[in-house]
Amino acid sequence: MENVVIDPACFIGLVTSAVEAYNRETNGFLIGAERSRKVLRTPREVAVLKAAYPIQTADRKVNWVANGNTRAFERARRSVANAYGGLDLLGGYHSHTGADAHAGLSPLDLEYILDEFHVMNRGREEPEYDRWLELVLAIRRREYTTRHEIRWTLRHFPRKLGTHVVLEPNIGFDITMGGYWVYCQRNGRPGAFELAGRQEARLHAPWFVPR
C-alpha cells in the first residue's frame, strides 16, 4: 500500500513529539486503518494514520533512541494494539536530530523493526504481521536574526512531507517526514523471520490548506 494519509491529530502528535524531545530523538507507535480516501482527486485505498503515541519511558539520546523500560514498553504496545475497534497498530515513528539529520532508515532502524516483527509474531510458524510502517522525522532547530511570524506551514514533496514550525519570533524547527513500508518473511525456520524488502511510501496531508 503505497499511499499514506496522515490525519491532523496524528500530524500534530508527530510534530510536537519531535519538537518536545529535541535535541534528543523521540519514538512511538502509529495507530490507524486501511480506508478508501480521495487522494489527488482520485479515490484510492490508503493507510490512514489516526494517532501517534509517544513512548514516554524511552531512553533518548542525541543520535539514537531506545525503548527503555521493557515492561512499560510492552504495556504501551498492548494498549495501542487493542485501544479501539477498527484501528490497528500499523507501525512506529522516530526522529533523527542534528545538522546531518535525514528522513531515511538507518541500519539500526531496520534492526529495531526486525525485533518488532519477532515480538509481534512470537509463537507463530508463519508471520501474521508481515508489514510495518515506519515514519522518520528529520528535525533541525533554526535561529533567526530577524523576527518571524509564529505559525506552522506544510509542504508536499513527491513522497515526503515537510513542515516549518516557528515557536518564538527567533526560533523555529524544520521537519521532513519520510515513510517506509518494511516487510518480513519466514527465514526458513519456524518462528524465525527476516526482512523481505522495503518501499518508500507516499505521504499525504490533504486537509492542509496554506494560508
| Structural domains for the chain | 3-204 (3.40.140.10)
* Cα 159 from Cα 157, distance rounded (Å): 5
Query: What confidence score (pLDDT) does residue 80 get?
Result: 62
Q: Determine how many CB atoms are found less than 10 A away from the CB of residue 4.
A: 27
Amino acid 67: pLDDT: 55
More confident residue, 69 or 180: 180
* Cβ atoms < 10 Å from Cβ of 55: 23
End-to-end CA distance of the chain: 31
C-alpha grid cell, residue 13: 502528535
Centre a 10 Å sphere on the Cβ of residue 49 and count the other Cβ atoms it contains.
Answer: 27
Q: pLDDT tier at 37 (50, 70, 90 boundaries)?
A: confident
Q: Which of the 8 DSSP states describes residue 184?
A: E
The pTM for the full model equals: 0.87
Bridge partners, 131 (sequence order): 183
Residue 84 has a pLDDT of 59
- pLDDT, residue 86, reads 67
pLDDT band at 64 (very low <50, low <70, confident <90, very high): very low
CA-nearest of 169, 141, 162, 143 to 210 is 162
What value does the mean pLDDT of the chain take? 85
Question: In this model, does residue 121 exceed pLDDT 60?
Answer: yes
- Per-residue pLDDT at 116 exceeds 70: yes
Q: Residue 160 above 50 pLDDT?
A: yes
High-pLDDT (> 90) share of the chain, %: 53
Contact at 8 Å (CB) between 1 and 34? yes
Span 75-98, pLDDT tens digits: 666 666 666 566 788 999 999 997
CA atoms in the 13 A half-sphere facing the CB of 165: 19
Residues 6+ apart with CB under 8 A from 75: none
Over range 155-184, report the average pLDDT.
95
**134, 105 in Cβ contact below 8 A?**
yes
Query: Where is pLDDT greater, at 98 or 204?
Result: 204
Residue 149 pLDDT grade (very low, low, confident, very high; cuts 50, 70, 90): very high
Instruction: Name which of 60, 20, 49 is nearest 135 in CA terms.
Output: 49
